Structure 1
Amino acid sequence: MSSGKVTLLSAGPGDVDLLTLRAARVLACADVVLLDDLANPEIATLAPSARVLRVGKRGGCRSTPQAFIERLMVRYARRGLHVVRVKGGDALMFGRAGEELAALRDAGIATAIVNGVSSAFAAANALGISLTHRAHCQGVTFVTAHLQDHREPDWSALAATRTTLAIYMGMSRLDALCAALGDALGPHTPGAVVQHAGGANERSVVARLDRLADAAHAAGLGSPAIILVGPAIAEARNASARPEATLARAA
C-alpha cells in the first residue's frame, strides 16, 4: 500500500465556520487539495502548504470528469502525499463518495472520511424548522432528483413514506417534480426551495406545491438549492402569513 493517503473531507453547506474542527486540522496538513465547485473557495486558506486544484462538478455546466478526479487522487497519493478531496455539504451525501472510495481501495490507497453538515440540514435551519417534527411526520428521506440512468424517481412511492422529503439536484426538474408530488400528496402540501443553504447568499421561498415552482422562478432561485416537501414545512418562519413567502438569510 502507498504511504500516501486520501481524505474525503466535508466542506459543509457554505460558510467556512460550518467546517468541523477536525476538517480544519486535516486541511492544515494537506499536501494537495482537490476543491469541489460547490465548496467555499475560502477553504483553501486553511491549507497554506497545499497545492490547490479546482475540480468542479455542476449539473448543466462544464465539469471535471469523475474518472479524471479519481486518477488525480491515486496519482498524488502514490507519490506519498496527503490528498484532501473537499466536497460540498457532507461527503457521503450524493457526492459520489462511493465511487471514489471504491477506486481508492482498488488502487490500494489508504482513505479517511471527515463528516460535515449536509445542505438539507442547513436548509432546515434557514427555515427555522425541524425536518422530523413529530406532529407532522415520522422521519426524513434524502433523495436526488437525478437518477444515474436519467429516470425520474418514483415520487408516488416517496410520498407514501409520510416523511419530509429533502430533494437534492432537483431545480432543473422543479415544475415536473412539484406536479408529481402535488398529485401524490395534494396541491396544498407545503414545500420550500432554499438556494445556497448555509451560505452568505442564502435565499428561500416557501409555498404550497401548486405554487412552489412559480414562486421559486419568480424569486430567481436556481442551483445549488435544496427542495423540502412535507407537512413539517408549514412550521417555516412566516409560512402561514401568505401563500408564498420569500425569506432572506438573517444577518
Structure 2
Amino acid sequence: PAADTADADTPETPRAGVALVGGGPGDPELITVRGRRLLARADVVVTDRLVPRELLDELPPHVEVVDAAKIPYGRAAAQEVINRTLIEHARAGRFVVRLKGGDPYVFGRGFEELLACTGADVPVTVVPGITSAFSAPALADVPVTHRGVTHEVVVVSGHVPPGDERSLVDWDALGRLRGTVVLMMGVERIGRFADALIAAGRPGDTPVAVVQDGTVPAQKVVRSTLEKIADEAAAAGVRPPAVTVIGPVAGLAPAG
C-alpha cells in the first residue's frame, strides 16, 4: 500500500502501523504539531542519536524505546535490523513511531524504511520534519537564499569525499555554480570539499559558515572562507553534527 496521507489518529486509520516522524533539527520545540501528537500515541519508538532527548523524556513509562544508534552491525545490516524491527512491532498490533532527526527524507534513509514497510503490507504515515540543512543556518543568521544574491541552493551529503568511487556528487558542476551549497555530514573532510570546489572554479575567498549543534544552546558558529575553513574549523574544535553553508549568503550578517 501507499503511504498514508491522512492523520494517523482519525477513526479510519488503523491503530497499528508505523509513522515516520521527523524530529526536527535539535530544539525539541521544532518538531511539528502532528509529529508530537503521534509520538504521544506511540507504543514503540525507534529513535536515532540526533533526536532531541527531551522528546523521549516526555514519553509515558510503558513506551518501549529502541535506540537504533546502538544496533551493533554495519550500516547496511543495521538498516535491515531497523526495518525488521518496525515491521515486527507493527504486525504485533503496536503503533510504532520511527523518530528521526531533521526530516526523514533528507539524507535520513526514510524512504528505504517506507519501502520496507509497504512491501510487508504495514501501513505507514509520513510526517515531514524541519531539516537542519536550512534551520540551523537560519538560527545562526545565515540565510541559504537572499534576494539578489543567490537563485539556487544545493544540499549535498558529505559522507563520502570527492573522488570516491561511491560518490554521486558532481563537484565540478558545484564549483561552477554561484549560489549556495549546504554541506551535510562534511565536518571531518571539510578541507577536501573546499579544495574540490576551489579546483572546480569557486574563488578561495568564497564565504563559508559552519554551524555546529544548530538550534540548541550549545550552538557554535565559525565564519571563514573556502581557503581557510579547514584550519579555522579545526582551531575552533568544530565537531559533528554540523552544517556547512558555502556561498555569498554566508557572508551576510544583520546590522549591529
TM class, shorter-length? 0.7 to 0.9
Deviations 1:164-220 (A, max 9, x none): 111111112111011111232110000111111112211110101101111110000
Select the residue among 229, 233, 241 that pairs with 2:250.
Answer: 233
Q: 2:23 aligns to what? A: 11
Q: 1:193 to 1:152 in 2, by over 3 A?
A: farther
Is the CA contact 1:8–1:91 (under 8 Å) kept in the aligned structure 2? Answer: yes
Q: Which runs of 5+ in 2 are unaligned?
A: 2-13
Q: Distance in 2 between matches of 1:92 and 1:196?
A: 20
Q: 2:103 aligns to what? A: 90
Aligned residue type for 1:92: Y
Is the CA contact 2:25–2:136 (under 8 Å) kept in the aligned structure 1? Answer: no
Deviation of 1:3 (Å): 6.3
Is the CA contact 1:182–1:189 (under 8 Å) kept in the aligned structure 2? Answer: no
Q: 1:196 to 1:3 in 2, by over 3 A?
A: same
2:240 equivalent to 1:223: yes
Q: Distance in 1 between matches of 2:142 and 2:212?
A: 16
Deviation of 1:125 (Å): 1.6
Q: 2:8 aligns to what? A: none
Q: What is the percentage of aligned positions where both structures have the same residue?
A: 36
Is the CA contact 1:39–1:88 (under 8 Å) kept in the aligned structure 2? Answer: yes
Q: 1:161 to 1:55 in 2, by over 3 A?
A: same
Q: 1:101 aligns to what? A: 114
Aligned residue type for 1:154: D
How many residue pairs are counted as aligned between the two chains? 237
Is the CA contact 1:27–1:46 (under 8 Å) kept in the aligned structure 2? Answer: no
Select the residue among 141, 144, 164 that pairs with 2:157.
Answer: 144
Aligned residue type for 1:37: R
Is the CA contact 1:127–1:237 (under 8 Å) kept in the aligned structure 2? Answer: no
Of 142-151 and 187-196, more deviation after overlay is shown by: 142-151
Q: 1:130 aligns to what? A: 143
Q: 1:26 aligns to what? A: 38
Q: 1:210 aligns to what? A: 227
Is the CA contact 2:136–2:215 (under 8 Å) kept in the aligned structure 1? Answer: yes
Q: Distance in 1 between matches of 2:104 and 2:56?
A: 17
Q: Which runs of 5+ in 1 are unaligned?
A: 242-251
2:217 equivalent to 1:200: yes
Q: Distance in 2 between matches of 1:75 and 1:196?
A: 34
Aligned residue type for 1:207: S
Of 177-186 and 143-152, more deviation after overlay is shown by: 143-152
Q: Distance in 1 between matches of 2:126 and 2:55?
A: 17
Root mean square deviation of aligned Cα:
2.5
Where does structure 1 differ by over 3 angstroms across 4 or more consecutive aligned residues? 61-64, 147-150
Q: 1:136 to 1:122 in 2, by over 3 A?
A: same
Deviations 1:58-105 (A, max 9, x none): 9xx987811100110000000111100010011111000121111111
Q: 1:177 aligns to what? A: 193
TM-score, scaled to structure 2 = 0.85
Q: 1:72 to 1:57 in 2, by over 3 A?
A: same
TM-score, scaled to structure 1 = 0.87
